[in-house]
């Protein structure tokens, strides 16, 4: 709403006041010039604040008739305006909420002035770092304006811009960019080419391209924006100060420090003069200027600027604001570079605690992708914490505690949040929410069916459109259902240790990117291992570079999954992996009989049971092994209920429609790597018939479905069986190679790259009756991992995927494997037994029968599988790991009850 009064009020400063775009991703500069990706994402205050600014909205509100309430409204708007000028956003929240209530009561919920009040309140929440509260307010404001004013009104452009600002700050660039583009298009059509609103939209677009590393596109946009805004607003305007800051960021990205310095200095001087010494935007300029000095090694100049920035942010924004965390983290790096490790540890630890507070507050809204993008903005500080310990202070126990606590807080966090919220969603939705959930499930089924339809490819962009609609409904469920918002309990070393059995040790692996504060460079990614027992201090080792270790892992995996090789031929590769990833902490394992292994990266692709120790023994001969995504899983596993319903055993499906038999197959999967999923077909599996029949005798109360009855529809209709056993073909289709742009976006910082091509949960699945004709009850016979996430397995104790490749999927560092195992966890299952390669049909049948016999005898789930594998290993024809090591157990390990 900046049509004519753009220069009328100083509150324009709220607009785009970048809170420290401080540093840009590795993809936009040489690696040795990179700065903290985390800083960019969090400090992206550019994008901040509806540049439509509170002041313009308040003018509109003041000019609206509220009848008897008008005098109160004017008083409230004046108070809010004064507090905003001071940067006292917290104090402005109560009067802003009161203003919203009055407007809704007097004008009705769909009046444009109500949209203005909602926008103002959202601005405050965003300034305070309370993003989860800002999102629905911005969305509501946008919806009201589009309905009341039309889709091409300048106020709609303002709301689009505001929402994009928030998405950008949370790392959701894919959602932000089209909103910015649409906002600019509306303004260019509705306003003059040199209107300030057009200039600000151009600036926002420049920042977005800047963050994506496209500097050749960003620079002329910055220059165009500067020409418009400096001409219309004047050189001493706060918005111009923001542009100066951001242009300085671009030059610093290029390593042109001489060009950046005067821009930073002018930006700071303008803000101090116009806004006052205590304004939060001044703290931003102080922080950014300090960063430039730190990069140049001028710590004497940087330290007092950081300290002043911290004091301002703490006074103005509060002790838990994300921008305060950024300044603290930057100051920690400066002290670290000087060798002052004690001061550095204190500031870094405090910064990480604040980030944890904000993660807990904000990781409760949006779709899975939205949450994943937000989490990725914290990867930088995770790498910094681990680097500070292993590279900067490897003998310091307090640094180790900080690093391991950070890993446990963040690794597997998304799975934890999604599992908790999905559980709450199933049990506590109201009628409207249930209808939304049903629609979400329907959309996922449509997506899967279109992916595998055999007669024709789907129309261009149809799947993409359905996926976007699915994400929208998922986000709407979160936003509109208070019961869906679940905050995961805080994770500490103590709470995790309390969940570790006395005979066990947690092995927490992590990939990280080392940071050197003296050179300000990021180095080649490495693996690290932290080990923790039920009591005592953790142990740790840096294991070496990812490139070296992944090479050993890939060799071992290829050999261990090859049935043609002999035990002696594969021992060297299995011992080599052991020496690099377990051997460094072998003494710490003494006295333990159970390994709780939380792998990362390519370590997810090998069975730890098959690694060979220094005594030439397979690890399975000495330990029970259970896989976890992270040690934080131990907390979630303690909180699960149990289903009283009978087991469901499904197997030996008839893949051809009409019960026509097909050629028997010796493997429970496919060797195809064809991404044209429509051409996938399967043959019958004789071993599954014997397997299912035997299990039916072990569990006489179970429901057994075979042949044409083993349909996808029957599985979807299952209601929380105590055990779910699926004996059939499984598949995992490799993802297409990453594009050059995807590789650039990865930046070498261990940041998760967006999935290329098909959704990975569509490339993992199980074949049910009627698969070859794509007709299975009311479904197509292709039970994808995506569809599995919608099953109701709340309280299901055990899911066994007795098929090929059911433990494989796309790997995201720090977030596990995106495949069937993850999907069944989200569906509610406590334990998943899955395979890491293509398994032999008859051997699998034998292994599964022994496994369930061990369970019936009261053995724990992981131990029951171990004993079955040890028995198989004793057979001369099945001594190599290919036969006995394919299946792994993840999740709950204790006995069935």
If asked whether residues 664 and 525 sit together in one domain, one would say no
State which residues form the domain around 532.
363-412+496-639
Identify the pLDDT of residue 448. 67
Judge contact between 756 and 738, C-beta under 8 A: yes
How distant is the alpha carbon of residue 810 from its chain centre? Answer: 14
What's the CA gap between 598 and 179, in Å, rounded?
Answer: 39
CB 871 within 8 A of CB 850: yes
37, part of any domain: yes
Residue 536 lies in a domain: yes
677 and 800 belong to one structural domain: yes
**Is residue 132 classed exposed, middle or buried when 0-12, 13-18 and 19+ CB atoms within 10 A define those classes?**
buried
Cβ neighbors of 110 (< 8 A, separation 6 or more) are: 144, 147, 148
pLDDT value of residue 665: 56
Domain check: are 114 and 249 in the same one? yes
Given 639, 656, 673, the domain boundary residue is 639
**Which pLDDT belongs to residue 26?**
29
Q: Whose structure tokens read 């709407």?
A: 476
Closest CA to 720 of 791, 650, 637: 791
CA dihedral 321, 323, 328, 333 (to 10 degrees): 150
> What is the arrangement of strands in the sheet containing 764-767, beginning at the earlier edge strand?
730-732, 764-767, 782-784
Any residues with CB less than 8 A from the CB of 238 and at least 6 apart, and which? 10, 12, 13, 15, 17, 270, 271, 274, 275, 281
Antiparallel, parallel or unpaired: β 594-598 and 624-627: parallel
Residue 762's CATH number:
3.40.50.1460
- The domain tally of the chain equals 4
* Total Cβ atoms within 10 A of residue 597: 24
Closest CA to 42 of 373, 318, 368: 373
User: Which residues have CB under 8 Å from 869's CB, separation 6+?
Assistant: 609, 620, 847, 884, 885, 887
Residues 278 and 290 in one domain: yes
* pTM for the whole structure: 0.82
Closest CA to 314 of 362, 343, 350, 269: 350
At a CB cut-off of 8 Å and minimum separation 6, what does 631 contact?
A: 408, 496, 500, 506, 508, 532, 596, 598
Is residue 318 domain-resident?
yes
Identify the three-state secondary structure at position 505: strand
The rounded distance, in Å, linking the Cα atoms of 584 and 590 is 13
Is 423 a member of any domain? no
pLDDT of residue 739: 54
Find the distance separating the first CA and the last CA of the chain, reported in whole Å. 63
Q: Tell whether 387 is covered by a domain.
A: yes
Q: How far apart are CA 206 and CA 225, in angstroms?
A: 9
In sequence order, the 6+-apart residues with CB closer than 8 A to the CB of 99 are 61, 73, 76, 77, 80, 117, 120, 121
Mark whether 436 and 539 lie in a shared domain.
no
Please report the pLDDT score of residue 479 as a whole number: 64
Q: How far apart are CA 183 and CA 202, in angstroms?
A: 10
Q: What is the C-alpha to C-alpha distance for residues 609 and 619, in angstroms, rounded to an integer?
A: 5
Domain boundary among 607, 622, 639: 639
Q: The domain that contains 127 carries what CATH number?
A: 1.25.40.10
> Which of 639, 674, 703 represents a domain boundary (last residue)?
639
- DSSP assigned state of 612: B
pLDDT for position 456: 54
Q: Is residue 419 part of a domain?
A: no
* Dist CA 717 CA 872 (whole Å): 35
Cα(652)–Cα(377) distance, rounded to whole angstroms? 46
Q: If we measure between CA atoms, which residue out of 818, 820, 827, 764 comes closest to residue 797?
A: 827
Q: Output the 3-class SS for 784-831.
A: EHHHHCCCCCCCCCEEEEECCCCCCEEEECCCEEEEHHHHHHHHCCCE
Per-residue HEC secondary structure of 419-477 comes to HHHHHHHHHHCCHHHHHHHHHHHHHHHHHHHHHHCCCCCCCCCHHHHHHHHHHHHHHHH
> What was the pLDDT predicted at 9?
27
**Residues 268 and 123 grouped into a single domain:** yes
Residue 435 and residue 392 in one domain:
no
Q: Is residue 704 within 8 Å of 696, Cβ to Cβ?
A: yes
Which residues does 262 contact at the CB level (< 8 Å), separation at least 6?
none
Q: State which residues of the chain have pLDDT below 70.
A: 1-56, 448-461, 463, 478-489, 657-678, 736-758
689 with 821, same domain: the answer is: yes
Angle (CA) 622 625 626, round 5°: 170
Pair 332, 212 in one domain: yes
Question: What's the Cα-to-Cα distance from 4 to each of 8, 114, 116, rounded to whole Å?
Answer: 9, 21, 17
Q: DSSP for 702-741, please give it.
A: SEEEEETT--HHHHHT---BSEEEEES-EEEPPPPPPPHH
Taking phi over 0 as left and psi of -120 to 50 as alpha, with beta for the rest, 445 belongs to alpha
Tell me whether residue 1 is in a domain: no
| CA-based nearest residue to 837, from 620, 625, 607 | 607
Please tell me whether residues 510 and 461 are part of one structural domain: no
Quick one: DSSP state of residue 776? Answer: B
Residue 77, helix vs strand vs coil: helix
For 706, half-sphere exposure in the C-beta direction (CA atoms, 13 angstrom radius) is 17
Name 216's Cβ contacts closer than 8 Å, sequence gap at least 6. none
Give the integer Cα–Cα distance in Å for 334 and 292. Answer: 11
How many helices (H) and strands (E) would you count in the chain? 34, 18
Contacts of 153 (CB under 8 A, 6+ apart): 145, 186, 190
Please check whether residues 141 and 121 belong to one and the same domain: yes
Joined together, the tokens standing for residue 207 give: 């920042």
Q: Is residue 160 one of the residues assigned to a domain?
A: yes
Whether residues 454 and 535 share a domain: the answer is no
CB 135 within 8 A of CB 159: no
Q: Give kind and range of the element (H or E) at residue 176.
A: helix 173-190
Q: Please state the φ and ψ torsions of residue 863, each to the nearest 5 degrees.
A: -70, -35
Q: pLDDT tens digits, residue range 531-575?
A: 999 999 999 999 999 999 999 999 999 999 999 999 899 999 999
Structure tokens at 868: 């079955």
């Amino acid at each position: 709403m900046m049509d004519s009064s753009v220069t009328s009020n100083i509150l324009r400063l709220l607009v785009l006041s970048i809170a420290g775009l401080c540093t840009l991703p590795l993809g936009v500069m040489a690696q040795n010039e990179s700065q903290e990706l985390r800083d960019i994402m969090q400090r992206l205050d550019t994008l901040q604040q509806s540049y439509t600014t509170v002041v313009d909205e308040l003018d509109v509100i003041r000019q609206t008739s509220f009848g008897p309430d008008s005098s109160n409204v004017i008083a409230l708007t004046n108070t809010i305006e004064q507090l905003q000028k001071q940067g006292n956003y917290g104090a402005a929240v109560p009067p802003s909420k009161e203003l919203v209530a009055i407007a809704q009561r007097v004008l009705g919920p769909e009046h444009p002035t109500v949209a203005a009040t909602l926008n103002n309140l959202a601005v405050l929440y965003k300034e305070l770092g309370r993003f989860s509260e800002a999102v629905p307010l911005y969305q509501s404001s946008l919806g009201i304006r589009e309905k009341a004013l039309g889709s091409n009104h300048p106020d709609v452009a303002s709301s689009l811009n505001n929402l994009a600002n928030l998405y950008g700050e949370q790392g959701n660039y894919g959602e932000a960019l089209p909103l910015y583009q649409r906002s600019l298009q509306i303004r260019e059509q509705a306003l003059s080419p040199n209107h300030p609103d057009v200039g600000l939209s151009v600036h926002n677009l420049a920042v977005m391209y800047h963050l994506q590393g496209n500097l050749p596109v960003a620079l002329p946009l910055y220059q165009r924006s500067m020409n418009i805004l400096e001409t219309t607003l004047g050189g001493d305007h706060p918005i111009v100060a923001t542009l100066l800051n951001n242009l300085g960021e671009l030059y610093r990205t290029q390593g042109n420090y001489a060009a950046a310095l005067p821009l930073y200095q002018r930006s700071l001087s303008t803000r101090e003069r116009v806004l006052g010494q205590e304004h939060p935007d001044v703290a931003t300029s102080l922080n950014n200027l300090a960063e430039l000095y730190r990069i140049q090694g001028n710590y004497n100049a940087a330290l007092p600027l950081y300290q002043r920035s911290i004091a301002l942010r703490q006074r103005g924004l509060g002790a838990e604001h994300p921008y305060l965390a950024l300044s603290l983290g930057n100051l920690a790096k400066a002290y670290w570079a000087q060798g002052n490790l004690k001061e550095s540890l204190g500031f870094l630890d405090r910064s990480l605690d604040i980030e944890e507070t904000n993660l807990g507050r904000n990781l409760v809204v949006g779709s899975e992708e939205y949450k994943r993008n937000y989490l990725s903005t914290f990867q930088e500080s995770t790498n910094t914490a681990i680097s500070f310990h292993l590279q900067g202070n490897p003998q310091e126990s307090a640094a180790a505690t900080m690093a391991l606590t950070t890993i446990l807080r963040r690794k597997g966090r998304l799975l934890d949040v999604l599992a908790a919220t999905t559980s709450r969603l199933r049990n506590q939705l109201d009628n409207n929410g249930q209808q939304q959930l049903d629609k979400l499930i329907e959309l996922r089924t449509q997506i899967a069916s279109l992916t595998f339809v055999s007669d024709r490819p789907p129309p261009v962009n149809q799947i993409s459109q359905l996926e976007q609609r699915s994400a929208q409904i998922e986000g709407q469920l979160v936003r509109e259902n208070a019961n869906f918002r679940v905050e995961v309990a805080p994770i500490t070393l103590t709470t995790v240790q309390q969940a570790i059995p006395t005979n066990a040790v947690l092995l927490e692996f992590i990939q990280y990117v080392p940071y050197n504060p003296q050179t300000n460079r990021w180095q080649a990614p490495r693996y690290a291992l932290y080990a923790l027992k039920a009591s005592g201090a953790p142990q740790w080792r840096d294991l070496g570079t990812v490139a070296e270790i992944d090479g050993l892992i890939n060799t071992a995996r290829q050999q261990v999954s090859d049935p043609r090789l002999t035990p002696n031929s594969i021992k060297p590769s299995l011992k080599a992996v052991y020496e690099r990833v377990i051997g460094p902490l072998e003494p710490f394992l003494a006295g333990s009989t159970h390994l709780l292994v939380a792998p990362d990266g390519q370590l997810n692709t090998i069975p730890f049971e098959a690694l060979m120790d220094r005594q030439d023994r397979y690890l399975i001969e000495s330990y029970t092994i259970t896989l976890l995504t992270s040690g934080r899983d131990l907390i979630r596993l303690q909180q699960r209920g149990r289903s009283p319903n009978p087991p469901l055993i499904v197997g030996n499906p008839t893949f051809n429609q009409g019960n026509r038999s097909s050629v028997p197959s010796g493997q429970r999967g496919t060797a195809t790597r064809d991404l044209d999923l429509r051409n996938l077909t399967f043959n019958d599996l004789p071993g599954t018939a014997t397997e299912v029949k035997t299990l039916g005798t072990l569990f006489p109360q179970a429901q057994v479905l075979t042949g044409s009855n083993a349909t996808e529809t029957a599985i979807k209709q299952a209601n929380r069986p105590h055990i779910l056993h699926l004996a059939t073909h499984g598949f995992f289709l490799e993802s297409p190679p990453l594009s050059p742009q995807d590789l650039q976006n990865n930046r070498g910082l261990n940041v998760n790259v967006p999935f290329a091509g098909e959704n990975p949960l569509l490339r993992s699945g199980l074949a049910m009756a009627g698969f070859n004709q794509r007709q299975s009850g009311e479904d197509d016979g292709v039970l994808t991992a995506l569809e599995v996430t919608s099953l109701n397995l709340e309280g299901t104790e055990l899911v066994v995927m007795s098929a090929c490749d059911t433990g494989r999927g796309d790997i995201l560092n720090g977030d596990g494997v995106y495949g069937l195992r993850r999907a069944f966890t989200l569906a509610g299952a406590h334990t998943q037994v899955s395979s890491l390669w293509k398994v032999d049909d008859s051997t699998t049948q034998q292994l599964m029968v022994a496994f369930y016999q061990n369970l019936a005898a009261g053995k724990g789930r992981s131990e029951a599988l171990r004993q079955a594998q040890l028995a198989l290993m004793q057979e001369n024809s099945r001594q190599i790991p290919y036969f006995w090591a394919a299946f792994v157990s993840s999740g709950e390990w204790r006995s069935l009850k």
